Amino acid sequence: MKQHTNPAFAHFAAQLKKRRKMVGLSQEALALLADVDRTFVSQIERGIGNPSLLIMTRLAGALSVELHELLQPDEHANEKPDLYP
């Protein structure tokens, strides 16, 4: 499978992985909490999965964050990516 070239997908994938690791969850544990397949979590984090809005919302909820927190640029980043060219 090919990685997404859209920066918004890449940013979501990176933030998902970062938040998951911050709370100490495995991909499998996150998948169970969000009621999605573990392999799909892996695909999303690698930038090859295409999650629906519902799945993105479930993943955010499983991490106890709002979806927009996984979509917005980091506060401390010097350069904010152009997510929607």
Full pLDDT tens readout for the chain, 85 residues: 566 668 888 899 999 999 999 999 999 999 999 999 999 999 999 999 999 999 999 999 999 999 999 998 766 444 445 555 5
| Residue 16 covered by a domain | yes
Q: What pLDDT is recorded for position 83?
A: 55
- pTM reported for the whole predicted model: 0.81
d(CA 40, CA 38): 5
Give a yes or no: residue 28 inside a domain: yes
Task: With respect to residue 74, please indicate whether it lies within any of the assigned structural domains.
Answer: no
Residue 36 lies in a domain: yes
In a domain, 85, yes or no: no
Number of domains within the chain? 1
Confirm if 13 and 45 have CB atoms less than 8 A apart.
yes
The verdict on residue 77 lying in a domain is no
Give the closest residue to 83 by CA, choosing from 3, 5, 7: 7
Range of the domain at 34: 7-68
- Cα dihedral 18→21→22→23 (10° resolution): 130
Q: Report if residue 34 sits inside a domain.
A: yes
Assign residue 41 the CATH number of its domain: 1.10.260.40
